[in-house]
Amino acid sequence: MQNWIYVCDKKDIDFEDLIRFDYNEKTFCIYNIKDGFYATDGMCTHEDVHLEDGLVTEDEIECPMHQGIFNIKTGAVIQDPPCDDLKTYDVKVDGEKIYININ
């Protein structure tokens, strides 16, 4: 299912950083990394902690609470304590504008 939602402009996300994006009842993280823009769920899968203050290093996001690490592109857990992967979302860049597919 396609449900593209405008998030922000490219210039609004620093390189190797992320922004939080809230839409209806959901919350996301949108990343700017070497290979482009990516999106995941905003909440860590370990506990109820948002990843917006996490550390982005290359294609990984480190949770600020217990330093669990996820792959930004796949959502896969790289380092525990989280056991469950992050959900990821397709990102589309149209000119300067960034959209995510909230399916």
Q: Which residues pair with 9 in a beta bridge?
A: 97
Cα–Cα dist 69/63, whole Å: 6
Burial pattern 56-74, b for ≥16 Cβ within 10 A else e, equals beebbbbbebeebbbbbee
Residues found in the chain: 103
56 binds ligand FES (CB under 6 A): no
**Residues 91 and 39 sit within 8 Å (Cβ to Cβ):** yes
For the window 35-54, what string marks contact with ligand FES as x by the rule CB under 6 A? ---------x-xx-x-----
Closer residue to ligand FES in complex, CB, 49/78: 49
Q: Contact between 66 and ligand FES (CB under 6 A)? A: yes
Stretches 2-10, 27-35, 58-66, 90-98: which one binds ligand FES (CB under 6 A)? 58-66
Taking the least distance from each CB to ligand FES, the nearer of 29 and 44 is 44
Where on the chain is the footprint of ligand FES (CB under 6 A)?
44, 46-47, 49, 63, 65-66, 68, 81-82
